[in-house]
């Protein structure tokens, strides 16, 4: 039976749908080439040929917003996948087996938890150097502790439940119990933390690119566009507002979606 979803979920779904559609569109087609510079159209205003105007090099902002949203989304997906993968592995094994290794890992985790994730990201970026893939790794590492902590507490809660005992009696090995029996039962908790993590990743990436140490040109990035737009804020406010709106649309849609899911 299909039940009627709540308002938050529906609005979130629509906003996320719009973002995803635009991002997919940006991968296959953009109204202008995002890299082509047009000397005559420097900082041009909103018009039919340039829906969001042009930047200081005469590049079409709409095309660049499409591309930039794609980069942001990809980096966020990469970051969350990286963080989830290692977080789940560490959380599952430490939670399931416990013991001294668990103790050490959790101490380290507590320490990492004290850092704001963007600061950890900054530290790793300063070690690795900037660029799209390094941002994914740096932020990904920064996200591991929160995932590991959640998965670990779920495993501790589940590991002595009846179904795990029965599986053990039936002769299932530890690995099988971890991945086939307990892990599927952590999905609800995991999914909601993945969604929160995704939003944090979008914001962190945009922040780092804004600071100039995240995604590097020629990759278009919303954060970088915002930092460049700041110089021309008075003469062409649209240059800053449109990429910002794209960012808000992405984050708002996803946060509504995740809250809507939780309320159901």
Partner 1 sequence: MKYFAKKLIGLFATLLAVSFLVFLAFAVIPGDPATAMLGTQATPERIEALREEMGLNEPLLVRYAAWVADFVRGDFGISYSYRIPVTNMIVDKLPVTLTLMALSFLLIVFVSIPLGITCARYRGGVLDHCIVAANQVVMAIPAFFSGILITLVFGLLLHLFTPGGYVSYQKDWGRFLGYMLFPSIAVALPKIAMTTKLLRASVLSETRLDYVRTAYSRGNGTRAVLYRHVLKNALIPVVTFLGMALADMVAGSIIVEQVFNIPGLGRILLTSISNRDYPVVQAIIVCIAFLVLTINFLVDLVYQMVDPRITIE
Q: Does 183 bind partner 1 (CB under 8 A)?
A: no
Q: Does 135 bind partner 1 (CB under 8 A)?
A: no
Binding region for partner 1 (CB under 8 A) out of 29-37, 79-87, 151-159, 237-245: 237-245
Q: Does 108 bind partner 1 (CB under 8 A)?
A: yes
Which of 71, 72, 117, 134 touches partner 1 by CB under 8 A? 117
Q: Does 226 bind partner 1 (CB under 8 A)?
A: yes
- Residue in 28, 39, 40, 31 with CA at minimum distance from that of residue 61: 31
Q: Does 139 bind partner 1 (CB under 8 A)?
A: no
What distances in angstroms separate CA 11 from CA 8, 72, 84, 206, 259, one per listed residue?
5, 21, 27, 23, 11
Q: Which is nearer to partner 1, 47 or 126 (CB)?
A: 126
3-state class (DSSP) for residue 60:
strand
Binding region for partner 1 (CB under 8 A) out of 67-75, 88-96, 176-184, 232-240: 232-240
Element (H, E) at 262: helix 238-263
What distances in angstroms separate CA 113 from CA 147, 180, 234, one per listed residue?
11, 29, 40
Binding region for partner 1 (CB under 8 A) out of 21-29, 102-110, 148-156, 163-171: 102-110
Q: Does 220 bind partner 1 (CB under 8 A)?
A: no
Q: Does 29 bind partner 1 (CB under 8 A)?
A: no
- Do residues 79 and 144 make contact, with C-beta atoms less than 8 angstroms apart? no
Size, binding site for partner 1 by CB under 8 A: 41
Which of 125, 138, 182, 257 touches partner 1 by CB under 8 A? 125
Which of 9, 82, 143, 210 touches partner 1 by CB under 8 A? 210
Binding region for partner 1 (CB under 8 A) out of 68-76, 89-97, 111-119, 150-158: 111-119
Phi, psi of 119, deg, nearest 5: -70, -40
- Residue in 94, 101, 182 with CA at minimum distance from that of residue 144: 94
Which of 110, 174, 263, 264 touches partner 1 by CB under 8 A? 110
Alpha-carbon span 52 to 156, nearest angstrom: 52
Quick one: residue 216, left, alpha or beta (phi over 0 = left, psi -120 to 50 = alpha)?
beta
| Surface-to-core class of residue 132, CB atoms within 10 Å of its CB (0-12 exposed, 13-18 middle, 19+ buried) | middle
Q: Under the rule (CB under 8 A), what is the footprint of partner 1?
A: 107-108, 110-112, 114-119, 122-127, 203, 206-207, 210-213, 223, 226-227, 229-230, 233-234, 237, 240-241, 244, 247-248, 251-252, 255-256
């Amino acid at each position: 039976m299909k039940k009627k979803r709540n308002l938050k979920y529906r609005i979130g779904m629509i906003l996320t749908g719009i973002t995803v559609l635009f991002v997919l569109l940006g991968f296959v087609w953009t109204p202008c080439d995002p890299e082509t510079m047009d000397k005559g159209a420097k900082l041009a205003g909103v018009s039919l040929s340039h829906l969001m105007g042009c930047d200081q090099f005469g590049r079409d902002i709409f095309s660049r917003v499409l591309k930039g949203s794609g980069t942001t989304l990809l980096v966020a997906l990469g970051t969350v996948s990286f963080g989830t993968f290692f977080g789940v592995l560490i959380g599952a094994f430490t939670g399931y087996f416990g013991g001294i290794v668990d103790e050490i890992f959790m101490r380290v985790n507590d320490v990492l938890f004290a850092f704001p994730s963007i600061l950890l990201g900054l530290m790793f970026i300063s070690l690795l150097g900037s660029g799209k893939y390094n941002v994914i790794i740096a932020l990904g590492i920064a996200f591991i502790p929160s995932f590991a902590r959640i998965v670990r507490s779920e495993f501790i809660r589940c590991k002595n439940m009846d179904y795990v005992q029965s599986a053990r009696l039936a002769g299932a090995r530890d690995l099988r119990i971890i991945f086939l029996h307990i892990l599927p039962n952590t999905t609800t908790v995991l999914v909601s933390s993945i969604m929160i993590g995704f939003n944090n990743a979008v914001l962190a990436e945009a922040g780092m690119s804004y600071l100039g140490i995240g995604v590097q040109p020629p990759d278009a990035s919303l954060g970088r566009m915002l930092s460049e737009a700041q110089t021309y804020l008075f003469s062409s406010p649209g240059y800053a507002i449109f990429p910002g709106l794209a960012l808000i649309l992405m984050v708002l849609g996803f946060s509504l979606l995740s809250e809507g899911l939780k309320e159901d």
